[in-house]
Amino acid sequence: MAMEFLYALIGGLIVGVLFGFVLQRGRFCMNSAFRDIILLKEFKLAKSVVIALITLMIGFAIFGMAGVIDLAPKPLKIWGAIVGGLVFGIGMVLAAGCASGTTYRVGEGMMGSLVAGMGLTFGALMTKSGVLVDVKTTLQTTVIGTQLTLFGEFGALTPIWMLILGIVGAVLTFYFWGLPALKKRTEGEPLIKFDNAVESIFKKAYPWWVTGIVIGIIGTVAYIVSNGVLGITGGWMDLSLWFTTGNVVVWAGFIIAGIILGSFISAFIAGEFKIRVPKDGLTLLKQLIGGILMGFGAVTAMGCNITNILGGVPQLSLHSIITGACIMFGSWIMAYLLFMRKE
């Protein structure tokens, strides 16, 4: 037990700190990524998500085939995916951050995100074991197949499909996004400038492709270390149960503590840490409600955006793909209602 606890503590903290650091440097938030496709017609973060997915697909496939990790796509619980995904997407726009975005912003000193994180925990616990447990159970009753993926039931062929899709994706993104960006560079300018590497790593915002690749690598490393996908919502629940009931915190809880710490370190070094609060009280209330909706959505859909999109989609889980699409659609509905209708 003691060893297990230490392993979770040290492993979780190290992965969490790295993850939090990169989330803050890359401003990696799926709320911004999805919402701004329609709201600001801004695609950089969406591109980071795609690059992360491709990296994870290749990483999971290689280590899955090598027998280092056990791939485990989720079973398709269709109503859980649709309702949970939509509610999560609506919630994250209100909360001004997805599960991971909310967590890293706590480390930047944004008190509104702390409120959203509390809401996320509360909503998740309500749904997991509280007053909303029947709603969740009902929504998760219909299960299609056992571990359905995009190419039929999960099996020995799945990692091969993952590898093929990952490589095709890598080639396509390099051709359509990488080459034009390279061409724009002035002649003779090196790809990486080593003389100011410290500045680039610790003080500057990361370019979208760097963020995507590094997050993909961290997700793969996390899978190898814990033999499971990264998650956010479970970690918030773990931490709160540890504090309130004495349940011993495990891996996922230390990931959360690590993300907040890593983001704090990153923001502090770059001169971006400041305790701040929204000017408008209504914003705080919206963030709390958004957090609760995200908590309900994450437990109902068997995972937040990180677990489903960065964990399940690379394994081609149909459940995670549908959840991901519904999260995006939910965020578009709410972005339209909140920001676009009046224009």
Binding site for another protein (CB under 8 A): 27, 29, 31-32, 35-36, 39-40, 42, 96-97, 101, 108-110, 112-113, 205, 267, 270-274, 276-279, 283, 287, 339, 343
Pair of tokens at residue 305:
């955006």
Q: How far is the CB of 293 from another protein (least distance, A)?
A: 16
Nearer to another protein, 154 or 273 (CB): 273
Nearer to another protein, 225 or 338 (CB): 338
Give the residue among 140, 145, 128 at the shortest CA–CA distance from 78.
140
Residue type for 323, please? Answer: T
Q: Residue holding tokens 């159970």?
A: 137
Nearer to another protein, 39 or 160 (CB): 39
Nearer to another protein, 4 or 280 (CB): 280
Q: How far is the CB of 27 from another protein (least distance, A)?
A: 4
Query: What is d(CA 51, CA 31) in angstroms, rounded to the nearest whole number?
Result: 16
Query: What is d(CA 47, CA 313) in angstroms, rounded to the nearest whole number?
Result: 15
User: Would you say the C-alpha torsion 18, 60, 216, 143 has a positive or negative sign?
Assistant: negative
Q: How far is the CB of 272 from another protein (least distance, A)?
A: 4
CA Rg, the chain, in Å? 19
Phi, psi of 177 (to 5 degrees): -110, -40
Nearer to another protein, 117 or 166 (CB): 117
Nearer to another protein, 42 or 70 (CB): 42
The angle, 0 to 180 degrees and rounded to 10, between the axes of the packed helices 251-269 and 233-245 is: 110
Q: How far is the CB of 34 from another protein (least distance, A)?
A: 12
Q: How far is the CB of 264 from another protein (least distance, A)?
A: 12
Distance in angstroms between the alpha carbons of the first and the last residue of the chain: 58
Q: How far is the CB of 279 from another protein (least distance, A)?
A: 4
Pair of tokens at residue 120:
């996320």
Q: How far is the CB of 270 from another protein (least distance, A)?
A: 8
User: Would you say the C-alpha torsion 173, 217, 37, 151 has a positive or negative sign?
Assistant: positive
Query: What percent of the residues of the chain are helix, what percent strand, and what percent coil, each to the nearest 5?
Result: 75, 5, 25
Nearer to another protein, 122 or 273 (CB): 273
Pair of tokens at residue 96:
């001004």
Grouping H, G, I as helix, E, B as strand and the rest as coil, residue 317 is strand
